[in-house]
Structure 1
Amino acid sequence: MAAPLAPLPSGLQVTEASPEWLNKGDNAWQLTAATIVGMQSVPGLVILYGSIVKKKWAINSAFMALYAFAAVLVCWVGWAFQMSFGEEMFFFWGKPNFALDQKYLLDQGFAGFYPRATLVFFQFVFAAITLVLVGGALLGRMNFHAWMLFVPLWLTFSYTIGAYSIWCPTGFLAKAGVMDYCGGFVIHLASGVAGFTAAYWVGPRTNKDRERFPPNNILLMLAGAGLLWMGWSGFNGGGPYAANIDASLAVLNTHVCTATSLLVWLFLDILFFSKPSVIGAVQGMITGLVCITPAAGIVQGWAAIIMGILSGSIPWYTMMVLHKKISFLKYVDDTMAVFHTHAIAGSLGGVLTGFFAEPRLNRLFFSGDTTMFIGFAYGIKDGRFRAGLRQMGVQLAGIVFIVFINVFVTSVICLVVRLIVPLRLSEEQLEIGDDAIHGEEAYALWGDGEKFETQNGNDVFDVESSKAVQMTTTF
């Protein structure tokens, strides 16, 4: 007679709170990854936006990011999650519905061994950062009330279409075999195109701001950039919906590509401009992160290096050379250059994914029939030329679809919003900045934030006390 099986440890016992299908390790990792991604926006991009702009725009820029994060969450659980991952309404779009009922949230999600609540939160932080990235193109002049309307409208009518079409198992591009590991198309290409399109409709900053727009705090900018970089461990590491070996590869590939891209951008700045630009290095970091995202867990490490070289050079060329030669690019005031760092880098990553995706890694990541997923390079190597060529075609089709949807929908939204409120701030508000919009300023220059008061045109402090205050604030 066989010996009786030892009882499971208490932590693995099946209970109402821990059903049989729940994998606690995967659930813990997915919640952790989601939180890290959330920190890329809050505080990461809040700090980055608030410090990379002119001092008078610090509060408005940071608050655009913070508002978007909060507004997206309410819309996400109210209707947008189900439009992205719920029942099909059209072949490219899901039906709007709540994601708030406990029965719905506590059941197993469509992916992973954890409840839908985890999946809802994980996908929310991706939707939120997409809107924050769109906002980067509009810093320094968009009417905040227009931004308040733009965020829920763009999430509802643009983001959900891309997410459903490419990421939802029933989406038509998902069925066609588009490979987007963790958002090169859905997040970065979409935000880059939408940001650039919205920047066209909103209009430019003042001439003075366009000519000179120095960061108010480069050290804080680097802190925000560091949170963005490290947060990408959760961004791409959460892509497999499990704490598995592919997640580990995705994390390593992400950082290898990013470091390579940063160094290439830095060397190009030194070679052509003689100085190692800190802002340029941050741009190279971002393009590396964006480029590897659609490929993170389905390409080998040497491919990640090549992608880093290309992501540090091609967007550098489009930003530093082509941008200055093409009149339309110069006309559109894209404050954070999201067209180059996200649209160009995201498209580049999507194409390179179609070229370098490795069959075994595809089997680790994709479910069901994985035979159609093969990079063009491996299609040639394995004698499957047509399959590899098809994959490249599918990747290009995905790019075209995302570009079309975002140009069209973003334009319509901007035209609708400007019927309600102006898209651009008034000239007087543009001249003053934060104080005119929010009644607040980012930095206290005198004492505890008190400003000098004047009497008969003279400061109430005499000249010597003014110098003392200046010396105190300097040190």
Structure 2
Amino acid sequence: MSLPAAAEQASGPALVAASTLQGADTAWLMVSTALVLLMTLPGIALFYGGMVRRFNVINTMASVVGIAALVSVLWFALAYSLAFTPGGAAGGFIGGLERIGFAGLDFLGSTGQVAVSHMARHVPESVFAMFQLTFAIITCALVVGALVERMRFAALLLFTALWLLAVYVPIAHWVWEPGGWLAQLGALDFAGGAVVHINAGAAALVVAYALGPRSGYGREPFVPFNLGLTMAGTGLLWVGWFGFNAGSALAADGRAGLAMAVTHLAAASGAIAWMAAEWLARKRATLLGLCSGVVAGLVAITPAAGFVTLRGALVIGLVAGVACYWGATALKRMLRADDSLDVFGVHGVGGLVGAVLTGLLADPAISGVQASLTAQLIACVAVLGYSVLMTTVVLWVTSRFVALRVSEGAERTGLDLSLHNEQLGH
């Protein structure tokens, strides 16, 4: 979120006169909320669904839809309060309980007052909370790319519920709530380089190791179902990312406009850099490579979007395109993990690249603060380490209640039929 605006300390959510709300800011944040949700439904569902094998497409899409529904209910029940309210003595690490069940968020028409967050005082808190919900949804959905084609659906849902509360919520509080310890340290993360991408990438790697490789991995070809769907998903991600990054200004202002421009430029330069790297290494360009490069550029610009110039965005996109190509190829071979759809290689590596380059390229005239490379590195290590550790714990707890992986027979049949008794038409 926009750190200079968020850094204004306040005691917590409050009631203000409805007349103090800014209509343009409210409208833009509502549009941004819809755009970010569009990134998951159907963006991620199409992006991932097109890359898995034909007999696992329905399971992949069902996983994304199931996560969106589950995270939404948990967000209203508990997660929002723990992530985005001050936490008293424990405020640097976790939020408070005053917004459990979204208590106090009703528009109080009889008094002419409305609830607002201390982080966005010119829009209704209900809109801010919904905007933040869409970030939680897509972060959890990104992890699906590492576990497709072999994880039990029930295990996925239980894992997601526990992971949201034990991993995503604390990290969001550390980085984005003004009293969070990384926010206090001066770490900059405009729209989720650490909270979303490093976090999801680290979790994806842990899950891939825990589940083990897919049956036949490395010995037989895994033919994507339909890269046309993946391209359509990429387009929805690209467009939706304008809400992701420009919406994080929490206002319809110049910072939002800049964030939109740098987002587009980084996506384009990421695609060009990945294509160039692939062309040099494999003597050809591919649609999947272009789509992956777009996402790499988008991921890397996310933490920097409200802090860098257009030239900075060009550098970030170019570096990310090459770094993420390496992450999805050479690094993946080194790690020996069947991270099926390269979540760590693209989101983990891209998030790290973006977070570090934010510390180097942030312009104080734009950001309003002086970036610290040390703070950025501490945030990267803290988020990566915490996500790895707690994802391991969450997986272990999940495994105590339900087996994580389907049987070999179910895997060979395909999860569409074995788990859902559904299949694509011929």
TM-score (norm 2): 0.91
Q: Is the 8 A contact 2:268 2:297 kept in 1?
A: yes
Distance in structure 2 (CA, Å) of the matches to 1:336 and 1:317: 14
Does the 8 A contact of 1:21 with 1:108 survive in 2?
Answer: no
Give the structure 1 partner of residue 64 of structure 2: 65
Q: Please tell me whether the aligned partners of residues 265 and 313 of structure 1 are also in contact (alpha carbons under 8 angstroms).
A: yes
Alignment of 1:76-95 (within 5 A): 76-88=75-87, 90=90, 91-95=92-96
Q: What is the aligned counterpart of 2:257 among 248, 267, 285?
A: 248
Secondary structure of 1:93's counterpart equals coil
1:440 is matched with which residue? 422
Give the aligned partner of residue 6 of structure 2: none
Q: Indicate if the aligned counterparts of 2:105 and 2:125 stay in contact, CA closer than 8 A.
A: no
Q: Which runs of 5+ in 1 are unaligned?
A: 1-15, 364-372, 376-390, 446-475
Is it true that 1:397 corresponds to 2:378 in the alignment? yes
Distance 2:30 2:136 in 1: 16
The answer to whether the 8 A contact 2:278-2:289 is kept is: yes
How many equivalent pairs are there? Answer: 401
Q: C-alpha distance in 2, partners of 1:102/1:318?
A: 45
Query: Are 1:101 and 2:95 an aligned pair?
Result: no
Displacement after TM superposition at 1:289 (Å): 0.5
Q: 2:403 aligns with which of 382, 398, 422?
A: 422
Deviation at 1:439, TM superposition (A): 0.2
Distance 1:216 1:81 in 2: 37
1: CA distance, partners of 2:142 / 2:217: 24
Match for residue 362 of structure 1? 367
Deviates more, 1:17-26 or 1:394-403: 17-26
- Bigger drift between 90-99 and 65-74 goes to 90-99
Partner SS state of residue 249, structure 2: coil
| One-letter amino acid matched to 2:393 | V
User: Could you say which structure has the larger radius of gyration?
Assistant: 1
2-structure distance, mates of 1:49, 1:392? 34
Q: Tell me by how many angstroms 1:306 deviates.
A: 0.8
Alpha-carbon distance in structure 1 between the residues aligned to 2:413 and 2:307: 49
> Could you tell me which amino acid in structure 2 is paired with residue 413 of structure 1?
V
Matches within 5 A, 1:30-49: 30-49=29-48
Which of the numbers 353, 356, 362 marks the counterpart of 1:351? 356
Cα 1:206/1:300, change in 2 over 3 Å: same
Q: Distance in 2 between matches of 1:322 and 1:161?
A: 29
1:99-138 to 2 correspondence within 5 Å?
99-103=101-105, 106-112=114-120, 113-138=122-147
d(CA) in 1 for partners of 2:221, 2:96? 46
Matches within 5 A, 1:157-306: 157-207=166-216, 211-306=220-315
Deviations 1:294-353 (A, max 9, x none): 0011101011111111001122123322333x2xx12x2101111110111101100000
CA contact (8 A) 2:197 2:351 kept: yes
SS at match of 1:192: helix
- Say which structure, 1 or 2, has more relative contact order (CA 8 Å, 6+ apart): 2
Secondary structure of the equivalent of 1:400?
A: helix
Runs of 4+, deviation exceeding 4 Å: 102-105
Tell me if 1:334 matches 2:318.
Answer: no
User: Aligned pair 1:321/2:330, yes or no?
Assistant: yes
Q: Tell me how large the CA RMSD over aligned residues is.
A: 1.6
Kindly state the Cα deviation for residue 111 of structure 1 after the two structures are TM-superposed.
2.3
2:26 is the counterpart of 1:27: yes
Compared CA separation, residues 228 and 339, structure 1 to 2 (3 A): same
